């Protein structure tokens, strides 16, 4: 997000390419390629698709910006795209709400 985080999709792509080039330059190929984390205020599924296509391995989901239903939906989409989610919480209340909704979704 250019406004909140000062970055663009092109930045994600450039970091991915640099990581791959650095790994290819290593002759013994023993180093793992570092994951690319894309920090954006993700509110819609299309953002996940765009970030995955740009080369992201992980995304940040801001718990306070999403309803429980939207959070669960976005994590399912991210999982289907093989994107890891890092969840940002700013209060114990958000954490409890998040954990209770996650646990209830696992049992269904």
- pLDDT at position 41 is 92
Percent of the chain exceeding pLDDT 90 equals 50
- pLDDT at position 34 is 87
Start-to-end CA distance of the chain, whole Å, equals 34
98, containing H or E segment: helix 92-106
Place of tokens 């663009």: 8
User: Coil, strand or helix: which one is 108?
Assistant: coil
Tokens of 48: 């996940």
- The pTM score is 0.80
């Amino acid at each position: 997000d250019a406004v909140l985080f000062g970055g663009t999709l092109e930045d994600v792509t450039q970091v991915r390419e640099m990581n791959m080039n650095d790994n290819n330059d290593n002759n013994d190929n023993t180093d793992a390629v570092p994951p690319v984390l894309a920090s954006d205020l993700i509110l819609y599924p299309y953002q996940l698709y765009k970030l995955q296509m740009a080369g992201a391995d992980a995304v940040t989901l801001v718990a306070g910006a999403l309803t429980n239903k939207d959070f669960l939906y976005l994590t399912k989409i991210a999982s289907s795209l093989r994107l890891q989610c890092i969840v940002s919480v700013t209060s114990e209340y958000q954490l409890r709400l998040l954990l209770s909704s996650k646990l209830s979704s696992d049992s269904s």
